[in-house]
Chain A
Amino acid sequence: MTNGHYGPYGGRFVPEALTAALDELDAAFRAAKEDPAFINELRALERDYTGRPNPLTYAKRFSEHCGGARVYLKREDLNHTGSHKINNVLGQALLTQRMGKKRMIAETGAGQHGVATATAAALFGLECTVYMGLEDTRRQALNVARMKLLGAEVIPVTAGSQTLKDAINEAMRDWVASVDETHYVLGTVTGPAPFPEMVRYFHSVIGIEAREQILAVEGRLPDAVVACVGGGSNAMGLFSGFMEDTQVILRGYEAGGDGVETGRHSARFSGGTPGVLHGARTYVMQDQWGQTAPSHSISAGMDYPGVGPEHAWLHDTGRASYEPVTDAEAMEAFAILSKTEGIIPAIESAHGLAGAMRIGKELGPDSVVIVNLSGRGDKDVATAARWFGIDLGATVSNELSPEMREGR
């Protein structure tokens, strides 16, 4: 990585008005990384607030569905707020304070990043505005309520496809106009430099812990580490711990939606091409004219037409590989984990679990696989109930919004 680039990917493609803020952020990030006071403060928050280190759980009964491989779950679902997103947000909230800014804004798809940002804003006494596509506010009504309870303002975005990409557009527009007092807490390893590098850094704790934990329990490195890849932050955090261990397979699983062949998916590496989106060059779902193509996934957090630029480079160099997982495969893994381990995963994470089932069969018995369980599934209960045809019942459904009753 040089100057925010990963081979031809990454960089900064932004309006000039944002250059000064990105330079300021870059300088603050680099200074903070070298400042023991900052690191101590971050580690204390991770320990006392997030609840780190979280466990690496051997999933004995789930492993029986994975070709006999021993599958371990990295339990980001047990973090405060229920996903890995808090790792990045606490780091950026500390930076917001150091830069003397009083307001944080964020985009969110599934709502996990929005909830994490609203949480950190409450903890640090900062103002918070979260942009969320109107379609996603319906799919994830529970998280909208959580953000509001935490004191954040949630702005539904009605432009474009009304999903994550449009929420990012709107957050960028806010930021250009408010940059003096506002920090944009980008939620994944995408966007203009230094965001991809910085967000990876704040999530690297996932990989560091997982590596120590697997060595302690297995006495050896895993054969593969796998994760779902929407923007790619949970995967980048896990992969980073094993990047130099070249014998360890790194595999990311993208949202295959209804199947890549149907065109209704979010599989950038199977169905996209290099392009520029949201400030970075990376793989993008786009038409022949460079217009962003609509993406699809049952999971709001995977429904994004771009991907982190470092993933693009890992893909091209072959250090990591990426495969699509369909909605149906993800939901099958969702059900299996729930029933074999008593853990309901986020549907995003279920794509990684489906991947573990696939790669476990590939690698065979005696292999060791770590899968990042990046989030818990409470937010997805209505969607899953609809998928599996579970009747929520009259009593329950009366307490739910029409959108939730329909599982949207």
Chain B
Amino acid sequence: MTRHVSEAFATAKAENRAALIGYLPAGFPNPEQSVKLINAMVASGVDIIEVGLPYSDPLMDGPVIQQAVDQALAAGTTTDVVLNIVKQVVDAGAIAVVMSYWNPIERFGVEEFAAGLEAAGGSGVIAPDLTPEEAGDWSVASDAHAIDRILMVAPSSTDARITAIVGVTSGFVYAASTMGVTGARTTVSSGAHELVARTRAVTSLPIAVGLGVSTGDQAAEIAAYADGVIVGSAFVRRVLDAASDEAAIEAVSDLAKELAAGVRR
């Protein structure tokens, strides 16, 4: 039975905290291990898992995620495999959304992908390069299959633009904390706070902040004003640096616990 992101945000709100959203590419470092890693993240306090669909040209991602995605593709992670991984982690209890560049979804078939994700128990899709102007077919397909359309707002977005984006968004709004690609940063831009406030003015949807977040302290800082905290590269980094599969599972669990404590401060 599919659980939706709205449930995770409702639970977090009832507990007077922000939701923790963690990203890992499907199939990284290989399909079997990625399921174990995601399950460990969920068991250690990640409320919503962003399952990355590996793509050959990830132009919004920094070097850490590029490296992970290359490994996942080399390990044979096709779109079918990604949907299967979503099913496995949902069956294990996760609330899962897919993070994918647009071309693999279009190539799979917009309707087919929405149907496949619904069947796998997925809750939503974040497509960082899909703009509201190009989202017509996706709106129809995602509505038909109860898949949330999670679009992004950025510090450079005008107020009119934010209004247009939230108008086609469901589930939650992804607020990019900074102008840049994915990757851990020592400080999270102060622009994020202002962006959340501007977005809050035009929507009642939950708002989650991502890009550059890697520590419990940063998670706590963002949780003070946002409904969700998104962490990606920091999890990937832990896996890349681990000496063994077991050590990687321990490392992502430790980070998930630190971040989960952060959003509860």
Q: Do A and B come from one complex?
A: yes
Interface residues of A (CB under 8 A from B): 3, 11-17, 19-21, 159-160, 165-166, 168-169, 172-173, 176-177, 179-180, 273, 275-279, 284, 286, 288-292
Are A179 and B55 closer than 8 Å at their CB atoms?
no
Are B57 and A165 closer than 8 Å at their CB atoms?
yes
Q: How distant is A98 from chain B, measured CB to nearest CB, in Å? A: 19
B102 located at the interface, meaning its Cβ lies under 8 Å from any Cβ of chain A in the complex:
yes
Known A-B contacts: A16-B128, A165-B57, A180-B179. Give 17 more (CB < 8 A).
Answer: A12-B131, A14-B131, A15-B154, A16-B131, A16-B161, A16-B165, A17-B155, A19-B131, A172-B59, A179-B179, A276-B102, A289-B104, A289-B108, A290-B104, A290-B106, A290-B108, A291-B73
Where chain A touches its partner, the secondary structure class is mixed
Are B57 and A160 closer than 8 Å at their CB atoms?
yes
Which of B78, B104, B129, B156 makes the CB contact (< 8 A) with A179?
B156
Chain A residues near B107 (CB-CB < 8 A): 273, 275, 286, 288-290
Are A15 and B104 closer than 8 Å at their CB atoms?
no
Q: Contacts A159-B66, A177-B179, A277-B57 hold; do A284 and B103 have CB atoms under 8 A apart? A: yes
Are B157 and A16 closer than 8 Å at their CB atoms?
yes
Are A15 and B152 closer than 8 Å at their CB atoms?
yes
Which of B56, B63, B106, B157 makes the CB contact (< 8 A) with A276?
B106
Are B78 and A17 closer than 8 Å at their CB atoms?
no
CB nearest to B73 among chain A residues: A291
Which of A13, A177, A179 makes the CB contact (< 8 A) with B102?
A13
Interface string of B52-66 (1 = CB under 8 A from A): 000111111011001
Are A16 and B153 closer than 8 Å at their CB atoms?
yes
B180 located at the interface, meaning its Cβ lies under 8 Å from any Cβ of chain A in the complex:
yes
For the complex of A and B, 5 pairs with smallest distance between CB atoms? A290-B107, A290-B104, A177-B180, A17-B154, A20-B156
Point out which of A17, A168, A173, A286 has the most chain B C-beta atoms below 10 A from its C-beta. Answer: A17
Point out which of B59, B154, B180 has the most chain A C-beta atoms below 10 A from its C-beta. Answer: B59
B241 located at the interface, meaning its Cβ lies under 8 Å from any Cβ of chain A in the complex:
no
Q: Contacts A177-B179, A289-B107 hold; do A15 and B60 have CB atoms under 8 A apart? A: yes
Chain B contributes a number of interface residues (CB within 8 A of A) equal to: 40
Q: How distant is B236 from chain A, measured CB to nearest CB, in Å? A: 15
CB nearest to B157 among chain A residues: A16
Q: How distant is A218 from chain B, measured CB to nearest CB, in Å? A: 45
Which of A176, A180, A276 makes the CB contact (< 8 A) with B103?
A276
Are A278 and B57 closer than 8 Å at their CB atoms?
yes
**CA of A165 to CA of B63 in the docked complex: distance in angstroms?**
16
Q: How distant is A277 from chain B, measured CB to nearest CB, in Å? A: 7
Are A13 and B129 closer than 8 Å at their CB atoms?
yes
Chain A residues near B33 (CB-CB < 8 A): none
B176 located at the interface, meaning its Cβ lies under 8 Å from any Cβ of chain A in the complex:
yes
Chain B residues near A168 (CB-CB < 8 A): 59
Chain B residues near A12 (CB-CB < 8 A): 131, 133-134
Q: Scan residues 139-162 of chain B and give those whose CB is less than 8 A from a CB of chain A.
A: 151-158, 161
**CA of A13 to CA of B152 in the docked complex: distance in angstroms?**
13
Are B133 and A176 closer than 8 Å at their CB atoms?
no
Q: How distant is A39 from chain B, measured CB to nearest CB, in Å? A: 30
Are B129 and A15 closer than 8 Å at their CB atoms?
yes
**CA of A288 to CA of B80 in the docked complex: distance in angstroms?**
11
Are A291 and B55 closer than 8 Å at their CB atoms?
yes
Give 9 pairs: A residue, B residue, CB < 8 Å, sorted on A. Answer: A3-B133, A11-B134, A12-B134, A13-B130, A17-B154, A176-B179, A176-B180, A179-B179, A290-B107
B203 located at the interface, meaning its Cβ lies under 8 Å from any Cβ of chain A in the complex:
no
Are A21 and B156 closer than 8 Å at their CB atoms?
yes
**CA of A236 to CA of B82 in the docked complex: distance in angstroms?**
39
Q: How distant is A5 from chain B, measured CB to nearest CB, in Å? A: 9
B181 located at the interface, meaning its Cβ lies under 8 Å from any Cβ of chain A in the complex:
yes
